[in-house]
């Protein structure tokens, strides 16, 4: 069985992290976002993952070659010369997808995290017998998503409304689909949207079904949601695989620390923290609700909360980072500084306080 992961888009909302690598390769809970997905797909029998890509394909491919072997799954690239939206890439990969005619294929948005109930989803798609099935999830603020209106008993979709201006419902498209190859007949090789063009048409034909997933779900394509997603994911790990989480007198709640990271005396870490490989956390540091990417150094008595620190950055002694500060790769924050909600582009040195959210170019 095959799967297409939609990895186009420039990842603008996750800058400055995406200035260093494509969004799907940005680590989430110490693993590139896209690897969480590839592993989930592999576990339900997917043998080939097609990356639909319109940006930095070489960086992606070099990285994924290593994992092709490690995971024992074929990873190929379908490269767009112009962005084809969310449907056009399927027309571009048509000949590959038709190799498995008669079998459905998965399509995933690359910037979501969830419990991946893919086995249940396959079963749902088979039993309902539609041309396409969408996984849906309930959210508080549906306006930034695609809202799906469907018959609760049968799952048949009546309407698909992308980014509704007025409230129509709170069950939204989770960005995971199963499509029969017949759906390719609805798509032509040009910029096209699954959400705005293809799904509304299949819904009108009565061949689109929605499966509700009650497990955790989050679009992690922007910093605030990324940290909410981390909270949900670590909570899920606590329930499913708690041995992966750190324990000890200095740990509060759910914390994931890479085994190569060094933690000094008297630190207090948690809740909802991920610390990447090779990080050095000196003594007396306080970390909460944050992600430290690979190779970050946090000097003694510094405090990081509600923030993301990019690869190989340094936080000075007694410095304080809070309220959605996002530091790009290789940023150096001098000692004792206070940074509130500041977004810093890669390779910068911060020498003064920032009391209000600001972008440092």
Contact residues toward ligand GDD (CB under 6 A) are 6-9, 52-54, 80, 83-86, 89, 109-112, 145-146, 162, 172-173, 175, 195, 219, 221
3-state secondary structure 165-193: CCCCCCEEEEEEEEECHHHHHHCCCCCCC
Q: Is the CB of 134 or the CB of 322 nearer to ligand GDD?
A: 134
Q: How far is the CB of 202 from ligand GDD (least distance, A)?
A: 14
Which one of 32, 89, 221, 328 is in contact with Mg ion (CB under 5 A)? 221
22 near Mg ion, judged by CB under 5 A: no
Q: How far is the CB of 195 from Mg ion (least distance, A)?
A: 11
Residues 106-145: x/- map of binding to Mg ion (CB under 5 A)?
Answer: -----x----------------------------------
d(CA 233, CA 37): 13
270: alpha, beta or left? (left if phi > 0; alpha if psi -120 to 50):
left
229 binds, among Mg ion, ligand GDD, none (CB under 5 to 8 A by kind): none
In this structure, the number of other CB atoms found within 10 A of the CB of residue 249 comes to 6
Q: How far is the CB of 34 from ligand GDD (least distance, A)?
A: 10
Q: How far is the CB of 8 from Mg ion (least distance, A)?
A: 11
Q: Is the CB of 50 or the CB of 172 nearer to Mg ion?
A: 172
Q: To which residue do tokens 């949207």 refer?
A: 193
Q: Is the CB of 107 or the CB of 273 nearer to ligand GDD?
A: 107
Q: Interacting stretch for Mg ion, rule CB under 5 A, among 18-26, 74-82, 84-92, 221-229?
A: 221-229
Q: How far is the CB of 140 from Mg ion (least distance, A)?
A: 17
Q: How far is the CB of 53 from ligand GDD (least distance, A)?
A: 6
Q: How far is the CB of 4 from ligand GDD (least distance, A)?
A: 9
Q: Is the CB of 32 or the CB of 221 nearer to Mg ion?
A: 221
Burial per residue of 154-169, b for 16 or more beta-carbon CB atoms within 10 angstroms, e otherwise: ebbbebbbbebeeeee
Long-range contacts of 329-336 (CB under 8 A, 24+ apart): 329/16, 329/17, 329/19, 329/20, 329/293, 335/299
d(CA 257, CA 309): 14
- Closest CB to ligand GDD: residue number: 8
Question: Contact 110/37 with Cβ under 8 angstroms?
Answer: yes
d(CA 104, CA 121): 11
Q: To which residue do tokens 């007025």 refer?
A: 166
> Residue 135: CB partners within 8 Å, gap ≥ 6?
117, 121, 173, 174, 175, 176, 177, 210, 211, 213
Q: Is the CB of 134 or the CB of 273 nearer to ligand GDD?
A: 134
Q: Is the CB of 14 or the CB of 257 nearer to ligand GDD?
A: 14
Q: How many residues bind Mg ion (CB under 5 A)?
A: 3
282 binds, among ligand GDD, Mg ion, none (CB under 5 to 8 A by kind): none
Question: Contact 2/108 with Cβ under 8 angstroms?
Answer: no
Q: How far is the CB of 9 from ligand GDD (least distance, A)?
A: 3
In terms of C-beta density within 10 A (0-12 exposed, 13-18 middle, 19 or more buried), how is residue 269 classed?
A: buried
Q: Which residues bind Mg ion (CB under 5 A)?
A: 111, 219, 221
């Amino acid at each position: 069985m095959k799967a297409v992961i939609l990895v186009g888009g420039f990842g603008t909302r996750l800058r400055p992290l995406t200035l260093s690598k494509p969004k799907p390769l940005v680590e989430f809970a110490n693993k590139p976002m896209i690897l969480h997905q590839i592993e989930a797909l592999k576990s339900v029998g997917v043998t080939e993952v097609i990356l639909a890509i319109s940006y930095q394909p070489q960086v992606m491919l070099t990285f994924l070659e290593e994992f092709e072997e490690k995971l024992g799954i074929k990873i190929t690239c379908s490269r767009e010369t112009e962005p084809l939206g969310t449907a056009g890439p399927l027309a571009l990969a048509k000949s590959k997808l038709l190799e498995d005619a008669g079998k459905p294929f998965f399509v995933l948005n690359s910037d979501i995290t969830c419990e991946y109930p893919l086995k249940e989803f396959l079963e749902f798609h088979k039993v309902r017998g539609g041309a396409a099935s969408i996984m849906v999830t309930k959210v508080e603020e549906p306006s930034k998503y695609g809202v799906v209106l469907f018959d609760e008993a049968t799952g048949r979709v009546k309407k698909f409304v992308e980014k509704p201006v007025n409230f129509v419902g709170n069950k939204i498209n989770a960005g995971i689909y199963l499509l029969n190859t017949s759906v390719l007949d609805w798509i032509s090789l040009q910029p096209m949207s699954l959400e705005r063009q293809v799904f509304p048409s299949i819904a009108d034909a009565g061949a689109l079904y929605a499966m509700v997933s009650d497990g955790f779900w989050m679009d992690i394509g922007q910093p605030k949601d990324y940290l909410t997603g981390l909270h949900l994911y670590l909570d899920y790990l606590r329930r499913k695989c708690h041995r992966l989480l750190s324990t000890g007198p200095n740990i509060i709640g759910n914390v994931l620390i890479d085994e190569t990271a060094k933690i000094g005396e008297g630190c207090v870490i948690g809740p909802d923290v991920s610390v990447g490989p090779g990080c050095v956390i000196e003594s007396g540091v306080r970390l909460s609700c944050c992600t430290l990417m690979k190779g970050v150094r946090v000097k003694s008595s510094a405090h990081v909360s509600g923030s993301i620190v990019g690869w190989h950055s340094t936080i000075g002694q007694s410095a304080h980072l809070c309220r959605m500060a996002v530091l790009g790769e290789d940023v150096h924050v001098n000692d004792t500084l206070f940074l509130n909600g500041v977004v810093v582009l890669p390779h910068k040195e911060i020498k003064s306080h920032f009391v209000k959210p600001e972008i440092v170019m």
